[in-house]
Amino acid sequence: MIIHNLDTSNSVLNHFVSEIRDVEIQKDAMRFRKNIERIGEILSYELSKELHFSESTVQTPLGEKIISKVTDNIVLCSILRAGLPLHLGILNYFDKIENAFISAYRHHTSPEEFEIKVEYLASPSLDNKILILADPMLATGSSLCEVYEIMKKLGEIKEIHIVAVIASTQGIDHIANHFPANTHLWVATVDQKLNAKGYIVPGLGDAGDLAFGNKL
């Protein structure tokens, strides 16, 4: 797996990540969603540098200019529901791509044990396409692996790019063993710990709840 941790150099990205982590600022759900969206935009910009380009000519009112543009067919798949603000941010930059949605949630068999349940999938064919998988919190990595097992049946995927906001080192190690070696991981920052419930520490809490409110 090729890991791109954007935290290794300072940028305005730090401000957005700091706000989603901050226990007071994150209470503003609209701001929380907006910051995740902005992080999605920055990660998309970085990711775009690894795509395939070919030259085309643009006609301006005053002349012609040759510009390289992305040629890949891309499908963006987000894991519901926390992935939605990240999905919007990525879509702001790759506005003509296809979209897929999959639900994956933790079904707790005890307070500290869970299995991943997938109940909903809507996706185009993935044949010869770049698959971007958006999951804001890469904690244990189990949901991403479960999702990959399902998505790989939808066609011969050309290349996979995983986009995450916060990843745990344990989660990264886990997915590195499941995804093809040429898979890229784009992450805004990495934390070292998971707690007994599989939450990232210090992390930010429950991204789905912060974006969309508590659930039963």
Tell me the per-residue interface mask from 125 to 164 with ligand URA, x by CB under 6 A, - otherwise.
Answer: ------------x-x-------------------------
Cβ proximity to ligand URA, 130 vs 144, nearer residue: 144
Preceding amide of 180 cis, omega within 30: no
User: Of the candidates 216, 123, 133, which has an alpha carbon nearest to the alpha carbon of residue 167?
Assistant: 133
Rounded least distance, CB 80 to ligand URA, Å: 12
Q: Give the C-alpha separation, 88 to 197, whole Å.
A: 28
Preceding amide of 81 cis, omega within 30: yes
Q: Give the C-alpha separation, 141 to 167, whole Å.
A: 9
Tell me the per-residue interface mask from 28 to 47 with ligand URA, x by CB under 6 A, - otherwise.
Answer: --------------------
Supply φ then ψ for residue 184, to 5 degrees: -100, 140
* 207 is an interface residue for ligand URA by CB under 6 A: yes
Q: Which range in 38-46, 64-72, 92-100, 199-207 contacts ligand URA by CB under 6 A?
A: 199-207
Q: Which range in 83-91, 93-101, 108-116, 204-212 contacts ligand URA by CB under 6 A?
A: 204-212
Q: Which range in 7-15, 62-70, 109-117, 200-208 contacts ligand URA by CB under 6 A?
A: 200-208
Cβ proximity to ligand URA, 88 vs 97, nearer residue: 88
Residue from 20, 82, 154, 211 binding ligand URA (CB under 6 A) = 82
DSSP 23-88: TTGGG-HHHHHHHHHHHHHHHHHHHHTTS-EEEEEEEETTEEEEEEEE---EEEEEEETTTHHHHH
Rounded least distance, CB 208 to ligand URA, Å: 6
Cβ proximity to ligand URA, 1 vs 116, nearer residue: 116
Residue from 93, 114, 199, 212 binding ligand URA (CB under 6 A) = 199
> Given the structure tokens 């499908």, which residue do they identify?
75
Cβ contact 14:65 at 8 Å: no
Q: 3-state class of 147 per DSSP?
A: helix
Residue ranges binding ligand URA (CB under 6 A): 82, 137, 139, 199-200, 203, 206-208
